[in-house]
């Protein structure tokens, strides 16, 4: 919901909106009558909270069902939660429409950033531009998470951009930019990462690592369909990374043996992707009977489920050069034997590459919701266009053309 003053409750028969109406809202804000919200959200009932007595808008209490004679029934307070979570895992057609929209606008916003970025700018200027585009063009007031705008070595910091590291580095010529940003609409999120060179042209090393990640991303996309186990997709991406890092010369030896010692998790320490919806890391990843796999990399997966039609997930493989993990691998003889340290040295301080797309699982494959330049050629051509003097997004004036 876009309204800050309402909460929604659902029971098995109807959907109720509770309006948190107090004096400050009456004085300082325009309050629509309940009928307005009833029509807008097509719900069964709308009440001001004071009519119900208990304020659940703060999320403090979820009121239990109560009616005369309830004591004659066997009440189970544990069944509904997983049922609701499951409703959120499998998207309806209408939910998919909203997620297509959040992806469309957020993809456009990423492209504006790619056109606008220049060495000498601050990372937060790109965050601001993204948000400005999403809000001005898409009515998306919020992002689904704090923007991650890492440049240079910051691109290997997985959750960069938080209050302690607020996207405040100056972007430099030669930096890779890893921008992970998604707009949100009516609570439905998007989660998109684009990695590209700040100056619009990949170096040979940047290109090699980028194309390794793109290869794993596309391998996973080709394999995704109902029935496929998500941890197997993570393993597939890991294997492609190891093969590609071997071709580049950073690794040497037999890839099967590398898999046995979990070498992939040194370069991709996070999970391949997660369910997406009302939360950016959406609920329902580990229902009863689905166990977390306690192995490097795999244990970071936010779901270990098998795919079903209607699920929406991110596919976000990455390769990062994180000193702490590289040093850890070099100290471990079981892993260091696969590493060409001479070649690896060249990649210290490189940062990282992540390519993150949002997809919906269909009856026999997947639908790609994200639409941004992805190949090296597409990115370089698109960024060159953005530098050739074509007018870039400037907000209100361009909207009226």
Chain residues that interact with Mn ion, rule: CB under 5 A: 191, 314
- Residue 113 and residue 134 in contact, taking contact as beta carbons nearer than 8 Å: no
C-alpha span between 260 and 238 (Å, rounded): 12
Rank residues 238 and 358 by Cβ distance to Mn ion and give the closer one: 358
Residues with Cβ within 8 Å of residue 18, at least 6 apart in sequence: 6, 7, 8, 9, 46, 47, 48, 49, 52, 56, 57
Q: How far is the CB of 313 from Mn ion (least distance, A)?
A: 9
For tokens 């960024």, name the residue. 383
Q: How far is the CB of 182 from Mn ion (least distance, A)?
A: 8
Q: How far is CA 287 from CA 147, 219, 233, 302, 327, in A?
A: 29, 27, 19, 11, 36
CA angle in degrees (0–180, nearest 5) for 254-297-309: 105
Q: How far is the CB of 204 from Mn ion (least distance, A)?
A: 28
HSE-CB of 382 using CA atoms within 13 angstroms: 22
Packed helices 204-223 and 230-248: angle between N→C axes, nearest 10 degrees: 150
Rank residues 145 and 393 by Cβ distance to Mn ion and give the closer one: 145
Rank residues 154 and 190 by Cβ distance to Mn ion and give the closer one: 190
Rank residues 37 and 145 by Cβ distance to Mn ion and give the closer one: 145
Q: How far is the CB of 233 from Mn ion (least distance, A)?
A: 14
Q: How far is the CB of 27 from Mn ion (least distance, A)?
A: 41
Rank residues 156 and 314 by Cβ distance to Mn ion and give the closer one: 314
For every residue of 106-171, DSSP letters joined together read: HHHHHHHHHHH--TT-BHHHHHHHHHHHHHHHH---EESS--EEEEGGGGG-TTTTSTTS-S-SBP
Rank residues 314 and 335 by Cβ distance to Mn ion and give the closer one: 314
Q: How far is the CB of 314 from Mn ion (least distance, A)?
A: 4
Rank residues 21 and 184 by Cβ distance to Mn ion and give the closer one: 184
Token pair of 120 as six digits: 């000498």
Rank residues 182 and 386 by Cβ distance to Mn ion and give the closer one: 182
Give the max Cα distance, the chain: 76
Residues with Cβ within 8 Å of residue 160, at least 6 apart in sequence: 148, 149, 150, 154, 167
Taking CB positions, which residue lies at the least distance from Mn ion?
191
Q: How far is the CB of 106 from Mn ion (least distance, A)?
A: 12
- Residue 349 and residue 154 in contact, taking contact as beta carbons nearer than 8 Å: no
Strand partners, 8: 17
C-alpha span between 209 and 197 (Å, rounded): 12
Q: How far is the CB of 80 from Mn ion (least distance, A)?
A: 28
């Amino acid at each position: 919901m876009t309204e800050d003053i309402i909460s929604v409750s659902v029971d098995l028969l109807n959907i109720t909106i509770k309006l948190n109406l107090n004096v400050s809202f009456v004085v300082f804000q325009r309050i629509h009558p309940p009928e307005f919200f009833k029509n807008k959200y097509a719900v069964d009932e709308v009440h001001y909270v004071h009519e119900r007595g208990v304020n659940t808008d703060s999320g403090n209490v979820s009121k239990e069902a109560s009616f005369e004679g309830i004591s004659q029934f066997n009440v189970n307070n544990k069944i509904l939660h997983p049922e609701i979570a499951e409703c959120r895992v499998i998207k309806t057609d209408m939910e998919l429409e909203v997620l297509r929209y959040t992806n469309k606008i957020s993809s456009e916003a990423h492209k504006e950033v790619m056109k606008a970025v220049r060495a000498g700018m601050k990372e937060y200027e790109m965050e601001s531009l993204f948000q400005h585009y999403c809000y001005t063009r898409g009515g998306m007031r919020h992002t689904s998470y704090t923007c991650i705008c890492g440049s240079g070595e910051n691109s290997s910091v997985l959750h960069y951009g938080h209050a302690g590291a607020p996207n405040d580095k100056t972007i430099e010529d030669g930096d890779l930019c890893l921008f992970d940003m998604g707009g949100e609409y009516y609570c439905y999120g998007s989660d998109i990462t684009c990695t590209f060179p700040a100056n619009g042209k990949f170096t040979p090393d940047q290109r090699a690592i980028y194309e390794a990640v793109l290869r794993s991303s596309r391998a996973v996309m080709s394999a995704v369909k109902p029935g496929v186990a998500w941890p197997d997709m993570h393993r597939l991406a890991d294997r492609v990374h190891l093969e590609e890092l071997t071709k580049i010369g950073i690794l040497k030896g037999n890839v099967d043996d590398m898999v046995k010692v979990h070498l992939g998790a040194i370069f991709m320490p996070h999970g391949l992707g997660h369910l997406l919806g009302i939360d950016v890391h959406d609920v329902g990843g580990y229902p009863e009977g689905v166990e977390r796999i306690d192995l490097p990399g795999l244990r970071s997966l936010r779901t270990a489920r098998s795919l079903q039609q209607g699920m929406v997930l991110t596919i976000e493989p990455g390769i990062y050069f994180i000193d702490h993990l590289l040093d850890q691998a070099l100290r471990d003889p079981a892993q260091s034997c696969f590493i060409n340290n001479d070649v690896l040295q060249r990649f210290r301080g490189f940062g990282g590459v992540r390519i993150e797309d949002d997809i919906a699982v269909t009856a026999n494959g997947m639908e790609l919701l994200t639409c941004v330049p992805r190949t090296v050629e597409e990115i370089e051509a698109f960024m060159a266009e953005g530098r050739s003097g074509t007018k870039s997004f400037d907000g209100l004036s361009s909207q009226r053309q």
